[in-house]
Structure 1
């Protein structure tokens, strides 16, 4: 059975939090042997770390502040993230970035939090997991200031256009692809772009419990996306790239483990 690592799972603060045992077990049953629990703010990052200690070698986590929570960014935030990053299960700084689609935090505050987290990732020489929505120009400008000092950088849930894809590949980013690509309404452009991503730069993810693949048949009774659906997403992407499923699964698994400095 092919092995997978789901590189973006929102277990803390989501509808899946009370069902973690089942979620992890059912994912393992279909080959999703490890997953990355996202930290969207300081307290969530702390809880994600604690959850990882219950599932060693199955769960890893990030530590950071999502742009939605950038208004919470304070003088001590970098130091708090740095302290959390000392834990062995914390394998990336983030989720950080810019989101001008919802603007849950003021844009200047988003830019500050993003830049300071990139600076921290560079200082710690840790990978960074990033988020960008409707903020390409500012995101790219800030990223360019720090990219040469970062060991590895991942834009998760990539849904951009051909121009942004080219710009991000020029910055040597890894790109995470979700079930968005399985959505016939809004995923058509992404479906056309995934074949253009180099083999060594593409990762797959669910972003659970969000972005349930619309094309799944039979349709799951629950509207919640889960890590156990990652093989379905991978199969869709492999078909779009005209690659054998097993080969694509192995490539993305190795990409994921290597990116986060984990053995495979």
Structure 2
């Protein structure tokens, strides 16, 4: 069986309430051997770290403040995240970045929160799990200021243009891809992105319970979960005209090295 690492699941989401064992066992049954829980606020990052601790060597977590939650950022936030990042299972800073698409937090607040987390990643020397939506220019202006000092970074759930992907790759970033790559209506442009990006700079994720892959058999449950990760790998294999085993092996090796698992 092919084995995979899902670099982004939202297991703290209420859609998964009281189902953690079932979700994880189904994932393991489909070759998803390790999963990384996304922290999107101080509270959520604590919760993710607590769940990950219950499943050693299978679950890990990130600690960060998503731009939507930047409005919750205060003077204690960074010290709280720093405490979490001392734990072995908390392996990455994020999800952090800018989201000018929905503007759930004021842009200046997003920027302040993001800068603080870039500085935190440099201090603790753990890789970055980045979020950027409709904020490409400003996101890069801020990140470039720190680029020479930054640890490795992945732009998760990438849905941008080929031009944007090339710029990220030139800066040394990795790109995370979800079931969005199989959505030919909304994200047809990602086909050329997948064909272009070298396989050793790609990681895969479900972002469950969101972004259900479109190449799955029709099912009653419209909720995404980590056991569906092979459908993301399948789309990459199809677009790159390579075997799914090659996608599984390479993305797993990349994620393992990137997150120091």
What TM-score bracket applies, with the shorter chain setting the length? Answer: over 0.9
Q: Which residue of 2 aligns with 1:25?
A: 25
Aligned residues: CA RMSD: 0.9
Task: State how many pairs are aligned.
Answer: 261
Q: Is the 8 A contact 1:174 1:201 kept in 2?
A: yes
**Aligned-pair CA distance for 1:25:** 0.1
Partner Cα distance (1:236, 1:162) in 2: 17
**In the TM superposition, what whole-angstrom CA distance separates every residue of 1:144-192 from its partner, at most 9, and x where no partner exists?**
1112212210100000002211111111101001000111211210112
Structure 1 residues 243 and 138: alpha-carbon distance in aligned structure 2, compared to 1, 3 A threshold: same
Please list, as runs of the form range in 1=range in 2, the aligned pairs for 1:6-155 lying within 5 A after superposition.
6-155=6-155
Question: Residue deviations 1:122-154, cap 9 Å, x none?
Answer: 111110101011000011111111122122101
Of the structure 1 ranges 81-90 and 161-170, higher mean CA displacement relative to structure 2 is found in 161-170
Normalising by structure 1, we get a TM-score of 0.97
Alpha-carbon distance, 1:215 to partner:
2.6
Match of 2:207 in 1: 207
Partner of 1:230: 229
Question: What corresponds to 1:245 in structure 2?
Answer: 244
Deviations for 1:220-253, whole angstroms, at most 9, x for unmatched residues? 2111001000011101111101111111110000
Q: Is the 8 A contact 1:208 1:225 kept in 2?
A: yes
Alignment of 1:141-180 (within 5 A): 141-180=141-180
Report the TM-score when normalising by structure 2.
0.98
Provide, for residues 73-111 of structure 1, a one-character-per-residue CA deviation record: whole Å limited to 9, x for no partner: 111111111011000000000000001111000000001
Query: CA contact under 8 A between 1:121 and 1:127: conserved in structure 2?
Result: yes
What's the secondary structure of 2:19's corresponding residue? helix
TM-superposed deviation, 1:32: 0.2
| Equivalent pair of 1:126/1:150 in contact (CA under 8 Å) | no
Q: Quick check: 27-36 or 241-250, which moved more?
A: 241-250
TM-superposition CA deviations, 1:28-50 (whole Å, max 9, x none): 00100110000100011001111
**Native 8 Å contact 1:2 1:246 kept in 2:** yes
**Offset at residue 17 of structure 1 (A):** 3.0
Kept in 2, the 8 Å contact 1:14–1:209? The answer is no
Task: Give 1:4's aligned residue.
Answer: 4
Say yes or no: does 1:221 pair with 2:216: no
Which whole-Å CA distance do the structure 1 matches of 2:17 and 2:190 have between them? Answer: 30
- Name the CA distance, whole Å, in 2 between partners of 1:77 and 1:71: 11
Gaps of 5+ in 1: none
